[in-house]
Amino acid sequence: MSMDKRLFLVWPMAACLAVMALVSCTTVKEYQKNRLNDAEMVSGNRKVEKQN
Amino acid sequence: MTGGVGSQKLTDIANVFDVRLFRYDKKQRKHTFDIEVGIDHYTSASSDKIDLKANSSASHADTRIYPSLSWSVENEKKRTTFGVGISSSTEFDYQSFGGNISFAQKTRNRNGEFSAKLQAYLDRVKLVTPVELRNAPYGEENDHYATANRNTYAGSLSYSQIINQRFEVTLLADLVSQHGYLGLPFYRVYFADGSVHQENLPDSRLKVPLGVRANYFLGDRFIVRAYYRFYTDDWGLTSHTANIELPVKITPFFSISPFYRYYTQSAVKYFAPYQEHTVKDNYYTSNYDLSKFNSSFIGTGVRIAPPKGVLGMQHFNMLELRYGHYVKSINMNANIVSLNLRFK
């Protein structure tokens, strides 16, 4: 199977994993978010990636 | 610029200055004002070939200046954030004015957030044609270039969800519509019969990128940052981007982040290499940015943010340094060094 065909399957697989993750979530209180609020966990590109 | 052959050598120095101010109003809403100014200076062996007979010309280098202003207000009680922004970008042959409006809403338990953004860019392209294709004779200065419009409208949706105390996922979807002059006026295309033409591309393009991010805090020191994006448009280009970054927290204030990004794209319908287009082609380009290729980008970054400031300087809050080596399958490679300094 060519690399492009393999990669084309990644999108639906990634979507399925995302949906499975979404339905299995638990409520996290503000005081429990110390790891989620870590600077390395920021969602989105870092400022330093901007020019890459 | 030389029809799909020749040097791609390019150097680029880019600097961005970003100032962010915060203020709370009487209703305890948080206002954020962001002023950003970017300055890029690049030299390009290809851009230098607008005049093939000149050893070097003014087009071998250019400087771009791009300021932007934005304001957002966050209402903690209603769990909403509203924002607006304006931007511009100016270089010798290109001017852009942009505006955006955004809205975000958190879920009742504050574990999820939905956001939407609308952007518009109204651009003007100066039609700098290759010298031999101009109406004016060789050697004459042509200071009066025609211009053409290029307008871009983009809608973005995202939803982020906290899965548990260590795991967060974000889904991203955009829709981008472009109209106007979408080619590059100084790009040559050599046909199979030896004739040379100016690049000619359609005056509309519809783009659809879809992406997913997942961040996971593994143990006490390791973080996994993963990103995948699928892209397709009506010019026939389809691409996949997969990125993984593995920050390691050596101490709470010092981390090292190796990363790897793989990218693959198909060619647009209108691409053909040097001397492969014919007069039967309504649209044609030999720009290898629109060809089929793969690329890999590998590197590492360090982040230092001690509580007493970097090098003991209290206001010098954070330093990030990042190096990456970029390799494209079309015989191009690059080295990129980025530095981010934060002062509070």
Q: Per residue of chain B (344 residues), what is the pLDDT tens digit?
A: 665 666 667 788 888 899 999 999 999 999 999 999 999 998 876 555 565 555 556 566 789 999 999 999 999 999 999 999 999 999 988 999 999 999 999 999 999 999 999 999 999 999 988 877 777 554 444 567 889 999 999 999 999 999 999 999 999 999 999 999 999 998 999 999 999 999 999 999 999 999 999 999 999 999 999 999 999 999 999 999 999 999 999 999 999 999 999 999 999 999 999 999 999 999 999 999 999 999 999 999 999 999 999 999 999 999 999 999 999 998 889 999 999 999 99
Is B166–A36 a contact, with Cβ atoms under 8 angstroms apart?
A: yes
Are B211 and B159 within 8 A, CB to CB? no
pLDDT-derived band of residue A52, with 50, 70 and 90 as boundaries?
Answer: very low
Residue that the structure tokens 């230092």 belong to: B304
Question: Model ipTM?
Answer: 0.81
Taking the CA of residue A13 and the nearest CA in chain B, the distance in Å comes to 11
User: Which tokens sit at B338?
Assistant: 């980025």
User: Which tokens sit at B19?
Assistant: 């100032």
- Tell me which chain B residues have a C-beta less than 8 angstroms from the C-beta of A7: 240, 242, 264
B165, B247, B320 member nearest A35 (Cβ)? B165
Distance of alpha carbon B153 from alpha carbon B121, whole angstroms: 7
- Tell me which chain A residues have a C-beta less than 8 angstroms from the C-beta of B303: 39-40
Which pLDDT score, from 0 to 100, does residue B13 have?
87
A6, A20, A24, A40, best to mutate vs chain B, most B CBs in 10 Å: A40
Which pLDDT score, from 0 to 100, does residue B12 have?
82
**Where do the structural domains in chain B lie, given as residue ranges?**
211-269+292-344
Is A7–B257 a contact, with Cβ atoms under 8 angstroms apart?
A: no
A21, A38, A52 member nearest B163 (Cβ)? A21
Is B162–A25 a contact, with Cβ atoms under 8 angstroms apart?
A: yes
- Tell me which chain B residues have a C-beta less than 8 angstroms from the C-beta of A13: none
State phi, psi for B44 to the nearest 5 degrees.
-140, 125
Taking the CA of residue B123 and the nearest CA in chain A, the distance in Å comes to 21
Distance of alpha carbon B156 from alpha carbon B117, whole angstroms: 5
Are B213 and B190 within 8 A, CB to CB? no
Q: Which residues pair with B210 in a beta bridge?
A: B173, B230
- Mapping DSSP to helix (H, G, I), strand (E, B) and coil, where does residue B29 land? coil
Which pLDDT score, from 0 to 100, does residue B139 have?
44
Residue that the structure tokens 């199977």 belong to: A1
Are B82 and B106 within 8 A, CB to CB? no
Is A35–B166 a contact, with Cβ atoms under 8 angstroms apart?
A: yes
Which pLDDT score, from 0 to 100, does residue B140 have?
44
A8, A16, A38, A48, best to mutate vs chain B, most B CBs in 10 Å: A48
Sequence-distant (≥ 6) Cβ neighbours of residue B324 within 8 angstroms:
A52, B259, B297, B298, B299, B335, B336
B163, B242, B324 member nearest A10 (Cβ)? B242
| Other Cβ atoms closer than 10 A to B163 | 22
Taking the CA of residue A4 and the nearest CA in chain B, the distance in Å comes to 8
Decide if pLDDT at A6 tops 90.
no
B244: left (phi over 0), alpha (psi -120 to 50) or beta: beta
Are B325 and B333 within 8 A, CB to CB? yes
A41, A42, A50, best to mutate vs chain B, most B CBs in 10 Å: A41
Which pLDDT score, from 0 to 100, does residue B271 have?
97
- Mapping DSSP to helix (H, G, I), strand (E, B) and coil, where does residue A5 land? helix
Distance of alpha carbon B108 from alpha carbon B254, whole angstroms: 35
A3, A11, A49 member nearest B264 (Cβ)? A3
Sequence-distant (≥ 6) Cβ neighbours of residue A29 within 8 angstroms:
none
Which pLDDT score, from 0 to 100, does residue B14 have?
86
Is A21–B169 a contact, with Cβ atoms under 8 angstroms apart?
A: yes
**Which whole-number Å values give the CA distances from B33 to B28, B29, B104, in the listed order?**
16, 13, 17
Distance of alpha carbon B127 from alpha carbon B129, whole angstroms: 6
> Which chain A residues touch B if contact means CB-CB below 8 Å?
3-4, 7-8, 10-11, 14-15, 17-18, 21-22, 24-28, 30, 32-33, 35-36, 38-41, 43-44, 46-52
Is A41–B230 a contact, with Cβ atoms under 8 angstroms apart?
A: no
Distance of alpha carbon A23 from alpha carbon B115, whole angstroms: 19
B267: left (phi over 0), alpha (psi -120 to 50) or beta: beta
State phi, psi for B15 to the nearest 5 degrees.
-130, 135
Which pLDDT score, from 0 to 100, does residue B77 have?
95
Distance of alpha carbon A11 from alpha carbon B78, whole angstroms: 34
Q: Which residues pair with B213 in a beta bridge?
A: B170, B227
Which pLDDT score, from 0 to 100, does residue B7 have?
61
The secondary structure of residue B277, as a DSSP letter, is: B
Is A43–B168 a contact, with Cβ atoms under 8 angstroms apart?
A: yes
